[in-house]
Structure 1
Amino acid sequence: MDIEKRSIEFVPHSERYGHPKRLFTIWFSANMQVTTLVVGTLGIVAGLNLAWTCLALVLGCAIGTIFMAAHSSQGPHLGIPQMIQSRAQFGVLGAGFPLLINYLAFVLFTAANGVVMRDSIKAFLDVGDNTAIILFGAISFVVGFIGYELIHRFGAIMSALSGILFLVVAVLALQKPLPIGAIEMTDTFKATAFAMTVMQAASWTLGFGPYVADYSRYLPVNISSKQTFWYSYIGNLLGAGLVMLLGALLATLLKDVTNDPGSAIGSFFGPWSKIAMIVVVLGVIEINSLNLYSAYMSGMTIFTGMRGMTRISRSTKFIAMALTAIAATWIAVKTQYNFFSYFSDILIAQVYFLVPWSAINLADFYLVRKGKYAVDDMYNVDGQYGKYNFSTMAIYLLGVLSTVPFMDMSFYHSYFAQIIGSDQSWIPALLVPATLYYCWNRKRFLHR
């Protein structure tokens, strides 16, 4: 299989191929892994019973995936990576602002995956903690470097393998007796924990927004936007929702799911546990390769905007992606023994910085410009989008600031978070920047 030759540039129509059904398998399989499962355990850890946790998870996934799938529909229409589109809103150089945040978020999630997989790798390889994390990072790098086509094919394979694995675990787990009150809906509701679980599930699905169009941009331009949306939506909703529900079930039955989810899965397979662990690790390698691939795209978008470049050589791609993988691996090694609070914080923190970007991008695409862009000008600082769009940058900052009164992290508990009892910043992070951007730009574009 050839290494992908396209990176940040427009994909010519002659090179477009594929069917939107590929989007189902890539997003289904991207969620069919134990990091998603950990998100499903958090409601149980917070004190919700199984029934209310499941309802909160489904609600959060259903809401968050709407925005994720809306981004996916942009890919075939424009034929460029997701974050390049930010140049139309922020300016060619101004887009570096959200891109840097985006890059850092991908690096942190890549590091988190390395920590989660450490013990799973050690279950079938006789290596130390650091070596396990380094091996995981190296394999993720190879898949990400080869690129788009391998990632899609890998996703199709892992849809089957991970789907079978988690189905077997679910069947075996459902044979175990549930604790008393696990499925009671009366007198067991805890509003604070319920709201927090909805937010965490929504945050997980919203987190795909900054790179989802990267994996639909090779589709032909005449592909139905509805097909692109629904294949992405259903794949992501089923993948994330089913695995999170399984996580909630396992957290109800077992005590060690959150700290070592891979071993919890392996415990269901007895003498076949090592094979199960290999499938578990491969599943997370897929999502990790997505993170690395899109971190590279974001980093290069910043750099090329400054240099006026439209293409990236393979050697530059290799170096840039390798440096990103090394940085993520180093962070994983350094944070591996304080993982739970680290993962909770980055899951929530992405809401503060990535969701305002998503809101602005979607408002511009669907409500303001309605899909009408000059792609060539996104690579030209002297084009219609200019170097900087300070009004958008200010709106983005206001969007981030709107989350401050609702923040709730391990080191900071805001006023409203203490009153509500949980972090609900994803709501203002969506509404405030989208409303401000639409109101500021609507009249300007109506008169063009």
Structure 2
Amino acid sequence: MPLPYAQEDRAIGKRAAPDPGSAFEGRMPAAPGDLRVETHGTAPVPEDRRYGGPGRLFTVWFAPNLTMTGVFTGTVGIALGLDFATALVAVVLGTLVGAVPTAYLGTWGSRTGVGQMSLARLAFGRGVVLPGALQWLSSIAWDALIGLFGGDALAQLFGWPFWLGVLVMMAAQGALGVLGYEAIHRLQTVMTFALAAAFAVLSVKLLDGVHPAASGTVHGGDRAGAFVLTCTIALSLALSWAPYASDFSRYLPPTTSRTRMFWCTLLGISVSFVAVQTLGLWGASVFTDQTARGIDTLLGGGALGAFGLLAVALAALCSNAMNDYSGSLALQAMGVRVPRPVAAALAAVLGFPLVLWMHAADTTARFQNVLLLVGYWIPGFVAIVAVDWVVRARARGGAPVDLAAESAVGRPWWPALTAFGAAFAAAVPFMSTGLYVGPAAKALHGADLAYGVAFIVALVLYAPLRLRLRS
């Protein structure tokens, strides 16, 4: 294994006690409610330090998706000319397809005690630097996508300038990312109930007297293209969590039911995303001002408007704390010897200028472009790590996962990176964004099939290469 991972490999092989001086090891939460700073990084969590049950996966994946990012994403289907019923089918279909990989990958955490990008080293070897860097950059991009609304809400609520609202938002989410795993789980448990109630109240108020689009404005091929694009956008939201998946299950005991883990994660992601996007679809005609000020105006200002702005800010905090946490683990998985809390704070710091950039010009266009572009690499990544995991599982013949033994078998990095690069290249002609529309997407009336193409190409190329390397 490459030198930067020597300490992590030692921990994998010997289940060594945490060494506070190591960048990859450190203090771990001891039980639910232990909110001290988690300095533990990518080193495996020993089995005797695991705790919790699968039910906490529902809340950790439910609360962070109740954001205005999801609401405004939901308006896209109507903006593309679809009627409410057709757009809703696209949203549900896309969300379910995108949530399944995240739910599946999340079951690996309890079996290994390791985060998702560290587990990707089994397939990518030294080449994990590429998906690790993309994941780290994506976490910063998501900080901006969601922090844009959260910071704007704080600025509107307290009468601050926009930059100050964003600064406070980034500082708060960075602090939670620094505290780590248990603090995030506890916050999401509380916010699941608080935000669900808040969004229910807001929905009743926002949609009072509002009627959804009963008929669309596009027909034939254009309608099919709009349906696929809406489905892809919904898919991209749910699938964006896949590279994070086992980061939030790595402290669960190895005996935890994988079936329950899968369903808790799938339901947490799907129910929340479908709910907020349905709100966006229903109220697309009134969500014309996609800012915190627009929400305040729709709610009529006053106490209810302030309540709505606070809910928007808290929702952004829930989501971005997870971005900063997983971003810190991705940076370490690349071999960068930065303590996990420092890496989490760094992600929040770097997200600040990106929010200001998105706010400086056509916010809506920049938002939609970043939303799609940050996820095109994920389908190929999912296909590769899933194939590698299945091949290893068959070789084990039902035996428990032994990461020391798995890591000790040297494998070339080029098959995974070759399939990864080829999958992305094959997807380019099928991309449909405001910045670029590929020739295949144009021929398909704007339908974006890039995610599906990337997954299939990676699967078809990597599977035979991986099977030939089986030992």
Report the TM-score when normalising by structure 1: 0.90
Structure 1 pair 377/104, CA: closer, same or farther in 2 (3 Å)?
Answer: farther
User: How many angstroms apart in 2 are the aligned matches of 1:401 and 1:109?
Assistant: 23
User: How many angstroms apart in 2 are the aligned matches of 1:67 and 1:317?
Assistant: 26
Number of the residue aligned with 1:124? 157
Of 345, 357, 360, 1:334 maps to: 357
Of 289, 304, 317, 1:285 maps to: 317
Matched AA of 1:176: G
- Checking the alignment, whether the CA contact within 8 Å between 2:415 and 2:466 is kept in structure 1 is no
CA drift of 1:229 comes to: 0.3
CA drift of 1:345 comes to: 1.7
State the secondary structure of the residue aligned to 2:120.
helix
Number of the residue aligned with 1:352? 376
Number of the residue aligned with 1:395? 419
User: How many angstroms apart in 2 are the aligned matches of 1:175 and 1:123?
Assistant: 23
Q: Does 2:197 match 1:164? A: yes
Matched AA of 2:461: L
Number of the residue aligned with 2:403? 375
Of 26, 35, 40, 2:60 maps to: 26
Number of the residue aligned with 1:245? 278
Number of the residue aligned with 1:42? 76
- Checking the alignment, whether the CA contact within 8 Å between 2:149 and 2:313 is kept in structure 1 is no
CA drift of 1:116 comes to: 2.1
User: How many angstroms apart in 2 are the aligned matches of 1:33 and 1:131?
Assistant: 20
Number of the residue aligned with 2:106? 72
Structure 1 pair 416/125, CA: closer, same or farther in 2 (3 Å)?
Answer: same
Structure 1 pair 375/113, CA: closer, same or farther in 2 (3 Å)?
Answer: same
CA drift of 1:351 comes to: 3.4
State the secondary structure of the residue aligned to 2:283.
helix
User: How many angstroms apart in 1 are the aligned matches of 2:217 and 2:70?
Assistant: 28
Matched AA of 1:289: A
Structure 1 pair 157/223, CA: closer, same or farther in 2 (3 Å)?
Answer: same
What whole-Å deviation, never above 9, does each CA across 1:307-339 have from its counterpart, x for those lacking one? 7xxxx6xxx334333322211112212231232
User: How many angstroms apart in 2 are the aligned matches of 1:262 and 1:152?
Assistant: 30
CA drift of 1:212 comes to: 1.4
What whole-Å deviation, never above 9, does each CA across 1:223-279 have from its counterpart, x for those lacking one? 1111110000011110111111111112134422xx215742673364322122112
Matched AA of 1:346: V
Structure 1 pair 346/14, CA: closer, same or farther in 2 (3 Å)?
Answer: same
Using CA pairs below 8 Å that are at least 6 residues apart, which structure has the higher relative contact order? 1
User: How many angstroms apart in 2 are the aligned matches of 1:395 and 1:10?
Assistant: 28
State the secondary structure of the residue aligned to 1:4.
coil
Q: Does 2:438 match 1:431? A: no
What whole-Å deviation, never above 9, does each CA across 1:267-298 have from its counterpart, x for those lacking one? 33643221221122011111101001111111
Number of the residue aligned with 1:317? 340
Structure 1 pair 265/384, CA: closer, same or farther in 2 (3 Å)?
Answer: farther
State the secondary structure of the residue aligned to 2:374.
helix
Q: Does 2:148 match 1:115? A: yes
What whole-Å deviation, never above 9, does each CA across 1:399-448 have from its counterpart, x for those lacking one? 11110111222232211010112321011111111222222222543xx4
User: How many angstroms apart in 2 are the aligned matches of 1:265 and 1:40?
Assistant: 19
CA drift of 1:214 comes to: 0.3
User: How many angstroms apart in 2 are the aligned matches of 1:4 and 1:323?
Assistant: 16
Instruction: Map 1:199-278; keep pairs closer than 5 Å.
Output: 199-256=232-289, 259-260=290-291, 263-264=294-295, 267-268=298-299, 270-272=301-303, 273-278=305-310
Matched AA of 2:226: A
- Checking the alignment, whether the CA contact within 8 Å between 1:345 and 1:410 is kept in structure 2 is yes
Number of the residue aligned with 1:88? 122
Q: Does 2:75 match 1:55? A: no
State the secondary structure of the residue aligned to 1:219.
coil
Identity among equivalent positions (%) equals: 26
Number of the residue aligned with 2:432? 408
Structure 1 pair 44/261, CA: closer, same or farther in 2 (3 Å)?
Answer: farther
Quote the RMSD (CA, aligned, Å).
Answer: 2.2
- Checking the alignment, whether the CA contact within 8 Å between 2:155 and 2:164 is kept in structure 1 is no
CA drift of 1:117 comes to: 2.3
Count of aligned positions = 428
Structure 1 pair 377/266, CA: closer, same or farther in 2 (3 Å)?
Answer: farther
CA drift of 1:29 comes to: 0.6
- Checking the alignment, whether the CA contact within 8 Å between 1:50 and 1:252 is kept in structure 2 is no
Q: Does 2:335 match 1:303? A: yes
- Checking the alignment, whether the CA contact within 8 Å between 2:419 and 2:461 is kept in structure 1 is yes
- Checking the alignment, whether the CA contact within 8 Å between 1:403 and 1:429 is kept in structure 2 is yes
User: How many angstroms apart in 1 are the aligned matches of 2:256 and 2:46?
Assistant: 15
- Structure 1 range deviating more: 243-252 or 265-274: 265-274
Number of the residue aligned with 1:294? 326
Structure 1 pair 391/121, CA: closer, same or farther in 2 (3 Å)?
Answer: same
Structure 1 pair 124/100, CA: closer, same or farther in 2 (3 Å)?
Answer: same
State the secondary structure of the residue aligned to 1:222.
coil
- Checking the alignment, whether the CA contact within 8 Å between 1:364 and 1:370 is kept in structure 2 is no
- Checking the alignment, whether the CA contact within 8 Å between 1:262 and 1:280 is kept in structure 2 is no
CA drift of 1:169 comes to: 2.4
